[in-house]
Amino acid sequence: MSDGLSIAIVPARGGSKRIPRKNIRPFCGRPMIEWPIAAAIGSGRFDHVVVTTDDDEIAAVARSAGAVTPFQRPHELSDDFTPLRPVLKHAITASEAAFGQRVAYVCSILPTAAFVTSEDLQLGYEAVIAPDVDFVFVAGSFPSPVQRAMRRGANGGVEMLFPEHRFTRSQDLEECFYDLGQFYWGKRDPYLEDKPMYGPRTVPLTVAHRLARDIDTPEDWHEAELAFASILESRHAAT
């Protein structure tokens, strides 16, 4: 890390609407945000695990879990419509000011990424330090070829999105990926220069779909807790 700090940034604002207080709501016995913080600390990869938030209660929970909150996120970066990149750019520069050192590598870990593992964070770092890589994100592969996808037509029937692949064998179609929304490793300058997250200098780190869940509704939350509890039981049994 001689070229600068390696930091995790967990963006956790207080205004969740669909699941109020989602970032600190109890999830399998701990406030949700504690799980990704624990994974980040456990990876041993970061000089600092930084939580950027506008909420005093979230900040207190984050600190009790071992993260630091060296600055408060500005109000103008805390509404429902602020994209992630401006929040991260502010957090990078504010962290450099707070720590008095240049940041070299940044990993943005979403506060509801309870399924993230220390091992995957380490693998992401090993990928992003390559000279021809700007970003690394966690990806899943579609269970069936997207080139055979269909949509509902105007008359209620179905039509293929890619009719040219109507008769193409599945094994001849290219594997495709989607963002699982866990974490995003990146180098400092590509983040600050607004380089695109998805492009030829971005590497997907593929993990099993069961290790990531979108949690947008109470039903999602319940299903995710059941799945995560099963994973915890498997880990405990293995040890």
Q: How much is the pLDDT for 41? A: 98
Confidence of residue 209 (pLDDT cuts 50, 70, 90): low
pLDDT at residue 80 is higher than 50: yes
* pTM listed for this prediction: 0.92
Tokens 């059941």 sit at which residue? 226
Q: Using CA atoms, how far apart are residues 169 and 216, in angstroms rounded to an integer? A: 35
Domains: count for the chain: 1
Enclosing domain of residue 83:
5-238
Tokens 């992630």 sit at which residue? 84
Q: How much is the pLDDT for 1? A: 42
pLDDT at residue 16 is higher than 70: yes
Mean pLDDT, rounded, of the chain: 94
Cβ atoms of 49 and 35 within 8 Å: the answer is no
pLDDT at residue 216 is higher than 70: yes
Q: Using CA atoms, how far apart are residues 134 and 132, in angstroms rounded to an integer? A: 7
CATH number for the domain harbouring residue 160: 3.90.550.10
pLDDT tens for each residue of 117-130: 999 999 999 999 99
pLDDT tens for each residue of 93-117: 999 999 999 999 999 999 999 999 9
pLDDT tens for each residue of 46-73: 999 999 999 999 999 999 999 999 999 9
Q: Other CB atoms closer than 10 Å to residue 219's CB: what's the count?
A: 9
